[in-house]
Amino acid sequence: MQGITKNDLIIRIGGEGGEGVISVGDFITQACAHAGLDVYTFKTFPAEIKGGYAMYQVRASTERLYNQGDTFDVLCAFNGEAYNMNRASLRPGTAIVYDSPGDFTPDIPPGVFAYPIPMTQTAKDMHNPRAKNMVAMGAMSVLFNIPVESLREVITAKFSRKGEDVVKGNLTAFEHGRELAQALGKTDPWTLGTPKGKQDVIVMSGNNAIGLGALIAGLDFFSAYPITPATEVAIYVARHLPKRGGTLIQAEDEIASISQVLGASYAGKKAMTSTSGPGLSLMSEMLGMAFMAELPCVVVDVQRGGPSTGLPTKHEQSDLFLAIHGGHGDAGRIVLSVESIHDCIDLTVVAFNLAEKYQCPVLLLSDGSLAFSTQNVPYPNPDDYHVVERKRWDGQGEYRRYTLTEDGISPMADPGTPGGMHIATGLEHNEAGLPSYASANHEAMQAKRFNKLKNVVNDVAPTEVDGEGAADLGLIAWGSTIGVVREALQRLRAEDYKVKGFYPKLLNPLPTQQFEDFGASCKRLLLPEVNFQGQLAHFVRAETSLRPESYTICGGMPFTPEMIVNKVKEILA
Ligand code: COA
């Protein structure tokens, strides 16, 4: 079967939660990545364990990928709901592989290439209804040239924990699917580009990558309460931290988890928790205490659709106000935001380094898109990372925990250090750590705690500027929107648009001079972000002289490159 090689193919699989949609997406992703293609995935699933619409989109390419792409080239519909959800996106040239006979009869639009595959029936005939998804995957492997040997290896590896019979049954269903597609014959023009050959990569989700970054940074203690979409961070850490002598606790709630993290930090340990918006709200009081008591800690917030319980499994970038200012009193913290899966590793290490150096809470913002998206990343070498330890007391002279120093950083003594006894409470304290309500003392201590943060900008890589010279339009992006903007700018430049990008990772304290320098090189500025209020745009307007136009969406899905391209063209028209 021959087709036109498409160097950038997007396959979307849709079906009911419980039908194994996610497994098919994962298997195709693993197979493509190990065969040497670049992969980027996006998935969304219902809040229910069984039932509801589950979707997995795999983008595979011979080129570097930064996001999940615009829309699919291939749709694989396990049921009528998946078909209906995606019917509007079918266009001439799209291919659809669907269950037939199934619970629906599709009205295939003109120009769409249709492959009816008896997925349910074949699996039923094998007395293995679960294997419906493998029949579908077998068919797709033939039709779109998905590396078949890699797929067989992945099926074997993934199902081996369920027993030999499960592996055999699924491999057989997979081969049946291949035969069915071969019998149908290929009519659409698309096949995947030729892979580079076996690569030494790992395919990770953003959540796992954050867990890995924490281990590289020297995580000793982790406590969290499960919450979608952050739970996977805890699952990853639970798998690996105890083997390295660290401690993990599943706390009874988020207040307990952050409190335990602060206790561990006081005891001299590198400590972290992970949560999502509702959990971060509960932590806000203890984050104030972390600032007051100058206790290093890393808090990962995997943002989801809010407010309140909101859209728990959907994507949003709407916790920035809470991250920067959530809490009572004048409390500071460092806020970082990750762009990509690789960044989830690197920036988590940076988050720990900053927390330990500046003895304060560091909030690391990820989002629902990065949490579940997977991408191939080169296997990280821990020796390549610079890891910072906190400034410890040298045991000389009288110990004063909060001694006023030029850079605002006071050496810490681990409990048990002779002479290093001190108290860490939420009360204002003097240099010795004893309660003090004297106004001059409070002013001096607030200045100490805030002034040290002024140097943070020097410890984070300068904000990346994407493009050179003067631009008609500059795009400022944060979080996973950066990857979308990167691709949009490539497409716009190919059409001779004068556009540039600016991708801040340090969001508090804001690197204001870097913003000003970027703004000076652009006639106009646009700031796309996935929240209703335009939260970063608000801070940029408040803290710099720049006046970016906001472009906001909040439908539970990330931007696509096409949306950004169209918006830019509209503005520059
Ligand atoms: N043979 C045997 N087992 C198979 C199989 C096959 N052919 N295909 C899939 N499975 C197994 C998978 O291995 C997985 O088992 P595991 O749980 O032991 O890992 C299970 O069936 C589910 O399949 P999977 O492909 O992972 O998911 P799915 O596409 O069927 O969708 C979810 C199910 C993930 C959507 C759903 O279970 C879920 O978790 N929903 C989210 C719940 C949530 O987070 N709610 C938030 C509330 S705030």
CATH number for position 91: 3.40.920.10
DSSP 380: P
- Within 10 angstroms of residue 32's Cβ, the number of other Cβ atoms is 28
Whole-angstrom CA distances from 245 to 155, 220, 241 are 33, 8, 7
Nearest to 44 by CA among 424, 304, 280: 304
Strand partners of residue 378: 201
- For the Cβ of 170 lying below 6 angstroms from any atom of ligand 1, the answer is yes
Q: Which of 215-245 are b and which e, b meaning 16 or more Cβ less than 10 Å from the residue's Cβ?
A: bbbbbbbbbbbebbbbbbbbebbeebbeeee
Residues 97 and 236 in one domain: no
Give the pLDDT confidence score for residue 1 in this predicted structure: 44
Burial class (CB in 10 A: 0-12, 13-18, 19+), 396: exposed
Residue ranges with strand state E in 290-431: 297-303, 334-337, 361-367, 374-378
Number of domains in the chain: 4
Say what percent of the chain tops pLDDT 70. 99
Residues 18 and 136 in one domain: yes
Tell me, in angstroms, the distance from the centre of ligand 1 to residue 17's CA. 7
Residues 263 and 343 in one domain: yes
Provide φ and ψ at 201, rounded to 5°: -125, 160
Residues 534 and 448 in one domain: no
Model confidence at 437, pLDDT cuts 50, 70, 90, reads very high
Provide φ and ψ at 323, rounded to 5°: -65, -40
Tell me, in angstroms, the distance from the centre of ligand 1 to residue 250's CA. 23
Q: Are 388 and 409 in contact (CB under 8 A)?
A: no
Average pLDDT over residues 340-355: 97
Q: What is the pLDDT of residues 166-177, one digit of tens each?
A: 999 999 999 999
- Rounded CA gap, 486 and 503, in Å? 9
Range of the domain at 527: 464-572
Tell me, in angstroms, the distance from the centre of ligand 1 to residue 79's CA. 16
- For the Cβ of 134 lying below 6 angstroms from any atom of ligand 1, the answer is yes
Which residue's CA is the nearest one to ligand 1's atom 3? 130
Give the pLDDT confidence score for residue 194 in this predicted structure: 82
Give the pLDDT confidence score for residue 96 in this predicted structure: 97
pLDDT(31) > 50: yes
Residues 347 and 481 in one domain: no
pLDDT(56) > 80: yes
Give the pLDDT confidence score for residue 441 in this predicted structure: 98
Mean pLDDT over the full length of the chain: 95
How many helices (H) does the chain have, and how many strands (E)?
A: 18, 22
Q: Are 336 and 362 in contact (CB under 8 A)?
A: yes
Q: What is the H or E stretch that residue 222 is in? A: strand 221-224
Residues 35 and 171 in one domain: yes
Q: What is the CATH number of the domain that holds 550?
A: 3.40.50.920
Residues 142 and 239 in one domain: no
Residues 353 and 212 in one domain: yes
Residues 357 and 237 in one domain: yes
- For the Cβ of 133 lying below 6 angstroms from any atom of ligand 1, the answer is yes
- Which one of 173, 199, 225 terminates a domain? 199
> Could you tell me whether strands 8-16 and 38-44 are parallel, antiparallel, or unpaired per DSSP bridges?
unpaired
Q: Are 280 and 319 in contact (CB under 8 A)?
A: yes
174 in helix, strand or coil?
Answer: helix
- Which one of 199, 220, 246 terminates a domain? 199
Tell me, in angstroms, the distance from the centre of ligand 1 to residue 89's CA. 26
Please name the amino acid found at residue 506. L
Residues 503 and 380 in one domain: no
Q: What is the CATH number of the domain that holds 277?
A: 3.40.50.970
- Which one of 146, 165, 199 terminates a domain? 199
Tell me, in angstroms, the distance from the centre of ligand 1 to residue 50's CA. 8
pLDDT(199) > 90: no
Whole-angstrom CA distances from 507 to 164, 302, 409, 567 are 50, 15, 21, 24
Q: pTM (2 decimals)?
A: 0.92
pLDDT(2) > 70: no
pLDDT(533) > 70: yes
pLDDT(119) > 70: yes
Indicate the Cα dihedral angle 504, 508, 512, 518, nearest 10°.
10
Residues 364 and 421 in one domain: no
Average pLDDT over residues 430-435: 96
Residues 41 and 189 in one domain: yes
Q: What is the pLDDT of residues 251-279, one digit of tens each?
A: 999 999 999 999 999 999 999 999 999 99
Atom of ligand 1 nearest to the CA of 54: 35
